[in-house]
């Protein structure tokens, strides 16, 4: 509920306005029956009732105006709250980086779109609750003021109404949370399947994937039916109880009228007061919105609870060589210790290849090197500065990344290469593309570097080259490549290697690889095994070890 409390505080003026208008509307609704009844009594006695009739018209107009104002404020509050919650959630997710992705892409989309909308409606719904409660309570009080026996007749059945509302609120909360969680799981599985649509089609596993995606559907159906049962039961019980209460009050009113204790106008007023007193539908509706919003807010709060890395205020030494050092670094993923008090020093300006068996933690090490993740223990330093002490801008300017499956972001192909914390001159873009062997196929596009990404279908190797171009285009002292040449053909890899190992010799380079040829070109190879560096030496020296050769499978690749 933290996100709801915060957005409610920011919209305090409108929230208070909703409450005030709602209470005014309830007050007018309570005054109207008295005015109608009194006007009727005057008319039946043949007395002048013009002012009272006019008052009734004014009250009806006031009720319409306050109701419209309340609806307008509620709509504005909900819309602004939804926009604010979505902006904050998206900003937090991006700031948290890969840490937020653990919840699944589809589930995150569900939380940002659907759950944020439901949570945003909570302040307005909660602000309307006082009015939704004031009308029934005021109706009961008005019945008592009209005739105490009318109130007694109503209060005899009031505990059943209160029990009905309480049971509805409690049962709804559990089913709404379960429903929203099942929605999130289906969305996550669907996004995964869409990302692998070609693989699924090639493998002919459409039916199996369909079953996997819809596996949470029975739970979704169960929770949905439970919500409908709860609401249907409450509606059915109210449909029986409310008319009985109304008939009971009117029957007592008729008896009191027959003995002269009430006038016809009083009975008319009582008939309208009992409608207000039994207005459980409005109260249940507002409670349902609050319950649904609270459940949605809990799911949004879970995203906002993902820690965002804090940055310091330090700057790197102006002419530092880009020396990278990992001291006693420990990384835990789930129940497994992937890196165990690992020590590694990458000399400034050198190129170090990180090799190891699948699952050895190469990508984790690469993420820690540029602070895409923080270690669970130990310290990572760049030119003797701990990475958490650097400003965010200083860190991102100093460290460049290229990935095995890069994401191309930006409106055009040129934007995708220039994508970064600050604008990049076009000559840097083309220089990076040439170094990554991407300039040739980019210039063949309809509009060259200005071609919209949606109009430029690329192969896996071309996407990887554009990711490398982005890394090469930006100056910096450390370049981290996480298996970023795995999709390149042999000829292209040799050409890219020229830029990587020679043209960028002034930059420190840390690259993970499973290719012996790539490791052979590096200055040093860090052999990762059992969470630690088993050896740090040139490839030719390590090649004498049979266990090292086994990492690459085929010795001929050397």
Q: Which residue has the higher pLDDT, 241 or 73?
A: 73
Considering the domain architecture, whether residues 292 and 329 belong to the same structural domain is answered as no
pLDDT at residue 138 greater than cutoff 60:
yes
Output the pLDDT for position 488: 81
Q: Which residue has the higher pLDDT, 233 or 478?
A: 478
Q: Is residue 104 part of a domain?
A: yes
Residue 100 corresponds to which tokens in the numbers above? Answer: 């937020």
Q: Which residue has the higher pLDDT, 286 or 140?
A: 140
Q: Is residue 212 part of a domain?
A: no
Last residue of a domain, one of 304, 335, 365: 304
Mean pLDDT of the chain: 85
pLDDT at residue 62 greater than cutoff 90:
yes
Sorted by sequence, the CB contacts under 8 Å of residue 285 that are 6+ apart come out as 132
Residue 309's φ and ψ, nearest 5 degrees, are -60, 130
In 3D, which of 77, 15, 36, 17 has the Cα closest to residue 276?
36
Number of domains comprising the chain: 2
Considering the domain architecture, whether residues 332 and 284 belong to the same structural domain is answered as no
**Best mean pLDDT range from 142-151, 180-189, 321-330, 511-520:** 321-330
Considering the domain architecture, whether residues 244 and 380 belong to the same structural domain is answered as no
Query: What percent of the chain is predicted at pLDDT more than 70?
Result: 91
Considering the domain architecture, whether residues 277 and 410 belong to the same structural domain is answered as no
Would you say 130 and 23 are in contact if contact means Cβ atoms under 8 Å apart? Answer: yes
Q: Give SS3 for 395.
A: helix
Considering the domain architecture, whether residues 330 and 299 belong to the same structural domain is answered as no
- Comparing 283-292, 318-327, 359-368, the range with the smallest average pLDDT is 283-292
Residue 97 corresponds to which tokens in the numbers above? Answer: 């980086």
Considering the domain architecture, whether residues 20 and 86 belong to the same structural domain is answered as yes
Considering the domain architecture, whether residues 337 and 289 belong to the same structural domain is answered as no
Q: What CATH number is attached to the domain comprising 128?
A: 1.20.1560.10
Considering the domain architecture, whether residues 244 and 336 belong to the same structural domain is answered as no
pLDDT digits (tens, 9 = 90+) for 267-290: 999 989 888 887 765 666 677 778
Considering the domain architecture, whether residues 424 and 335 belong to the same structural domain is answered as yes
Last residue of a domain, one of 270, 304, 338: 304
Q: What CATH number is attached to the domain comprising 546?
A: 3.40.50.300
Residue 162's φ and ψ, nearest 5 degrees, are -60, -40
Straight-line distance from the first to the last Cα atom of the chain, in angstroms, rounded to the nearest whole number: 58
Q: Is residue 191 part of a domain?
A: no
Would you say 462 and 422 are in contact if contact means Cβ atoms under 8 Å apart? Answer: no
- Comparing 147-156, 282-291, 408-417, the range with the smallest average pLDDT is 282-291
pLDDT at residue 306 greater than cutoff 60:
yes
Helices (H), 46-121: 50-96, 105-110, 116-120
Query: What percent of the chain is predicted at pLDDT more than 90?
Result: 37
pLDDT digits (tens, 9 = 90+) for 206-245: 787 788 888 888 887 887 787 777 777 666 666 667 777 7
Would you say 55 and 49 are in contact if contact means Cβ atoms under 8 Å apart? Answer: no
Angle formed by the axes of helices 148-155 and 217-258, nearest 10°: 150
Residue 272 CA, chain-centre distance (Å), reads 46
Taking the whole predicted model, whether its pTM rises above 0.85 is answered as: no
- Determine the average pLDDT of the residues in 481-492: 83
Range of the domain at 230: 2-180+222-304
Considering the domain architecture, whether residues 20 and 117 belong to the same structural domain is answered as yes
Would you say 188 and 304 are in contact if contact means Cβ atoms under 8 Å apart? Answer: no
């Amino acid at each position: 509920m933290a996100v709801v409390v915060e957005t409610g505080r920011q919209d305090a003026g409108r929230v208070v306005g909703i409450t005030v208008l709602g209470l005014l509307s309830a007050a007018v609704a309570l005054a109207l029956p008295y005015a109608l009844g009194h006007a009727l009594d005057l008319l039946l006695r043949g007395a002048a009732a013009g002012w009272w009739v006019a008052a009734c018209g004014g009250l009806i107009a006031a009720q319409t105006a306050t109701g419209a104002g309340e609806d307008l404020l509620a709509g504005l509050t909900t819309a602004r709250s939804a926009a604010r919650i979505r902006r904050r959630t998206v900003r937090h997710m991006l700031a948290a980086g890969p840490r937020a992705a653990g919840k699944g892409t589809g589930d995150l989309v569900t939380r940002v779109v659907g759950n944020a909308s439901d949570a945003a409606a909570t302040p307005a719904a909660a602000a309307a609750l006082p009015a939704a409660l004031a009308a029934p309570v005021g109706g009961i009080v008005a019945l008592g003021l009209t005739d105490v026996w009318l109130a007694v007749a109503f209060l005899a059945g009031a505990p059943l109404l209160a029990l009905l509302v309480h049971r509805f609120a409690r049962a709804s909360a559990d089913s709404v949370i379960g429903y929203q969680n099942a929605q999130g799981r289906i969305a996550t599985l669907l996004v995964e399947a869409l990302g692998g649509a070609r693989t699924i089609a090639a493998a002919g596993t459409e039916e199996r994937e369909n079953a996997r995606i819809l596996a949470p559907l029975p739970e979704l159906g169960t929770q949905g039916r439970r919500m409908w049962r709860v609401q249907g039961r409450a509606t059915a019980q109210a449909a029986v109880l409310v008319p009985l209460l109304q008939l009971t009050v009117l029957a007592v009113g008729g008896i009191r009228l027959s003995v002269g204790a009430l006038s016809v106008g009083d009975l008319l007023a009582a008939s309208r007061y009992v409608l207000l007193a039994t207005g459980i539908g409005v109260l249940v509706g507002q409670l349902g919105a609050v319950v649904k919003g609270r459940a949605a807010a809990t799911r949004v709060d879970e995203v906002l609870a993902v820690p965002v890395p804090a940055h310091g205020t330090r700057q790197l030494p102006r002419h530092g060589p880009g020396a990278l050092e990992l001291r006693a670094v420990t990384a835990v993923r789930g129940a497994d210790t992937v890196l165990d008090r690992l020590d590694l020093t990458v000399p400034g300006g050198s190129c170090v290849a990180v090799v190891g068996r699948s699952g050895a933690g190469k990508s984790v090490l690469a993420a820690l090197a540029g602070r895409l993740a923080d270690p669970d223990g130990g310290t990572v330093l760049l030119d003797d500065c701990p990475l958490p002490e650097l400003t965010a801008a200083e860190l991102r300017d100093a460290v460049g990344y290229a990935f095995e499956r890069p994401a191309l972001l930006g409106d055009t192909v040129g934007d995708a290469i220039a994508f970064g914390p600050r604008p990049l001159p076009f000559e840097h873009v083309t220089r990076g593309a040439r170094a990554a062997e991407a300039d040739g196929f980019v210039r063949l596009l309809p509009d060259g570097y200005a071609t919209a990404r949606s109009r430029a279908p690329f192969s896996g190797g071309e996407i990887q080259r554009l990711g490398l171009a982005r890394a090469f285009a930006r100056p910096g002292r450390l370049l981290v490549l996480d298996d970023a040449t795995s999709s390149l053909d042999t000829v292209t890899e040799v050409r890219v290697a020229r830029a990587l190992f020679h043209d960028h010799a002034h930059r420190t380079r840390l690259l993970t690889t499973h290719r012996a040829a790539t490791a052979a070109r590096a200055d040093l190879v860090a052999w990762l095994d059992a969470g630690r560096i088993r050896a740090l030496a040139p490839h030719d020296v390590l090649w004498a070890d049979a266990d090292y050769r086994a990492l690459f499978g085929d010795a001929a690749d050397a």
